Amino acid sequence: MKISDYLKYLIIGTLFGFVLMKTEVVSWFRIQEMFRFDSIHMYGIMGLAVFIGLISIQIIKRFQIRDFESNSISIPEKDPSQRIRYIVGGSIFGLGWALLGACPGPMFALLGSGLTVMIIPIIAAVAGTYTYGVFMDKLPH
Amino acid sequence: MIELLSQPWPWYIGGPIIGLTVPLLLLAGGKVFGVSSNLRHVCAACNFGSNEFFNYDWKSEGEWNLTFIAGSILGGYLGGYVFANPEPILLAQSTITDLQTLGITDFNGFVPNDLFTWSSLGSVAGFTVLVLGGFLIGFGTRYAGGCTSGHAISGLSNLQLASLIAVIGFFIGGLIMTYFIYPIILS
């Protein structure tokens, strides 16, 4: 990658991390509140994020908009024939999400905010990913 | 300006900005928003063992995403440290009451101090939350082929049935943890 590539992804990532903090998506308390259906906060955020994502993907597809390098944009489809992996893998992820109160993006943003102990779940998550890689052939998908 | 940056943003402002990550990455270089792929890239970069799942050119595939996540750490520093909101989060009273019943007393900051300190790693509850929580996230996200960003935001935005199933899974697991397992861990 060129220096300008590093810079653009760094800037988009910084914006993402900043908004995660400002909207309190990184908060263990907010995740507890969400799973108790006590507030619209998290649902509003996810709903509007999907809404904006959906509209912009439709615009990009409809007008065949190219990226900054003028390459055409294609979004790979997720294989819908595999059902077990999404429901079982998703549920395992959900157990971890509620337990830690943070998903992968917020884990890194929280680390940046000075919560140094978040390096432990990040390392554990890398170990979890590695464990999946080792056993993936034996797991139903 | 400083005040705007240090106060919390309402969901109807922050949600759309988070959603903008999807087109920004697509326009920047045709990249699909998804944080948890980075966990796999780290495994590939460390080249643990000779596992085929991690045997790919992580640099050409994941460099942009690892840069993105480095930015998120920087964004966390800016949003959670430099422009930190000094006030406790305005949670629903019913959540506070529920959590108090479970023994959570300190509602300052983003996370409960009883669980998220280095010394809490020595307690059963703290170890379970930090180590098991992280492990389940890493295992589950790769099994499901994505996390909150890859499935709930990117996938749903692209109307993927697979992502809808995964998000339903996220909530099955999350509700089981919140209502049945967490009370045991905190007791």
Give the closest residue to A101 by CA, choosing from B134, B54, B15, B172.
Answer: B134
- Nearest-CA residue of chain A relative to B107? A29
For range B5-24, the mean pLDDT: 96
Residue B18 corresponds to which tokens in the numbers above? 């988070």
Residue-level pLDDT at B160 = 95
Other beta carbons within 10 angstroms of residue B33's beta carbon come to 27
When pLDDT is cut at 50, 70 and 90, the band that residue B161 belongs to is: very high
| Sequence letter at residue B134 | G
Give the residue with greater pLDDT, B52 vs A119: A119
Chain B (155-174) residues lying within 8 Å, Cβ to Cβ, of chain A: 155-163, 165-174
Distance from CA of B88 to the nearest CA of A (A): 10
Cβ-Cβ contacts under 8 Å, B14 against chain A = 19, 22-23, 25, 45
Q: What angle do CA B169, B173, B176 make, to 5 degrees?
A: 140
B187 in Cβ contact with A84 (< 8 Å): no
Question: Would the CB atoms of A114 and B72 count as touching at under 8 Å?
Answer: no
The radius of gyration of chain A's CA atoms, rounded to the nearest angstrom, is: 18
**pLDDT for residue B49 is more than 80:** no
Give the residue with greater pLDDT, B46 vs B170: B170
CA distances from B170 to A31, B39, B86, B91, B147 (A): 12, 18, 31, 22, 9
Cβ-Cβ contacts under 8 Å, B171 against chain A = 35, 94
State the burial class of residue A31 (Cβ atoms within 10 Å of its Cβ: 0-12, 13-18, 19+): buried
The mean predicted confidence, pLDDT, of chain B is: 95
**pLDDT for residue B50 is more than 80:** no
A36 in Cβ contact with B178 (< 8 Å): yes
A106 in Cβ contact with A25 (< 8 Å): yes
When pLDDT is cut at 50, 70 and 90, the band that residue B48 belongs to is: low
Quick check: B76 contacting A, CB < 8 Å?
A: yes
Residue-level pLDDT at B47 = 75
Distance from CA of B173 to the nearest CA of A (A): 4
Q: Which pTM value belongs to this model?
A: 0.96
**pLDDT for residue B150 is more than 80:** yes
DSSP 8-class letter at A3: H
Residue-level pLDDT at A80 = 83
**pLDDT for residue B103 is more than 90:** yes
Distance from CA of A55 to the nearest CA of B (A): 8
Per-residue pLDDT of chain A (141 residues; tens, 9 = 90+): 899 999 999 999 999 999 999 999 999 999 999 999 999 999 999 999 999 999 999 999 999 999 998 999 999 998 888 999 999 999 999 999 999 999 999 999 999 999 999 999 999 999 999 999 999 999 999
Cβ-Cβ contacts under 8 Å, A140 against chain B = none
A34 in Cβ contact with B95 (< 8 Å): no
Dist CA A23 CA B99 (whole Å)? 21
Dist CA B72 CA B35 (whole Å)? 10
| Sequence letter at residue A16 | F
Cβ-Cβ contacts under 8 Å, B23 against chain A = 52-53, 56-57, 59-60
Query: What is the share, in percent, of chain B residues with pLDDT greater than 90?
Result: 90
SS (H, E, C) B78-133: HHHHHCCCCCCCCCCHHHHHHHHHCCCCCCCCCCCCCCCCCHHHHCHHHHHHHHHH
Dist CA B100 CA A71 (whole Å)? 54
Residue-level pLDDT at B152 = 96
| Sequence letter at residue A53 | G
In chain B the beta strands, taken as DSSP E runs, fall at none
Residue-level pLDDT at B1 = 78
